[in-house]
Amino acid sequence: MASSAAYHKRNLGWPLSRHGSGFRQMTLVARFDAALRHLALTPRGSYYSDSEYGTSLYKLRTQSMSEDLLQAATAEVQRAVATYVPDIVVTDVQGVRDDDANKLSVNIFWTIRAASQQLHGELAKQNVSSVRL
């Protein structure tokens, strides 16, 4: 029987914040989800110390969605994740427009890089992080 205990340990949450008498903690998958959402929602070039951090997904909400724009967004998210969250792999990015609210929901599909179905079970499945722009 394989152990996946290391993936279920609780780590400090991202972004770091206080909760009760200590810092907020979460499991590894929740931490990856939070890091990916933070990366996707941060406009590229908005951090003075690292101008490459972030994505330009915020630009998609003012433009009509096309396959070319989604492919460019997928490539950019994959580049940013490979640089800043290298433990996960982005497999796909899908956009869903909500014309009534004039919003765009971006679903980012990802997996943990080293997780396998045989060793890690549920942790090897594909996860989805949703970002609303």
Q: Are 104 and 40 in contact (CB under 8 A)?
A: no
Rounded (5°) CA angle 106-26-46: 45
Residue range(s) defining the domain that contains residue 64: 32-132
Q: What share of the chain is helix, strand, coil (3-state, %, to 5)?
A: 40, 30, 35
- How confident is the model over 17-65, as pLDDT tens digits? 777 788 877 777 888 888 899 999 999 989 889 889 999 888 877 666 7
What's the total number of domains in the chain? Answer: 1
User: Would residue 11 count as lying in a domain?
Assistant: no
Residue 112 has pLDDT above 50, yes or no: yes
How big is the chain, counted in residues? 133
User: Would residue 60 count as lying in a domain?
Assistant: yes
CA torsion sign for 40, 42, 46, 51 is negative
Q: How does the average pLDDT of the chain come out, rounded? A: 80
Please report the pLDDT score of residue 53 as a whole number. 92
Q: Are 55 and 39 in contact (CB under 8 A)?
A: yes
**CATH code, domain with 120:** 3.10.450.40
Q: Are 41 and 66 in contact (CB under 8 A)?
A: no
User: Would residue 59 count as lying in a domain?
Assistant: yes
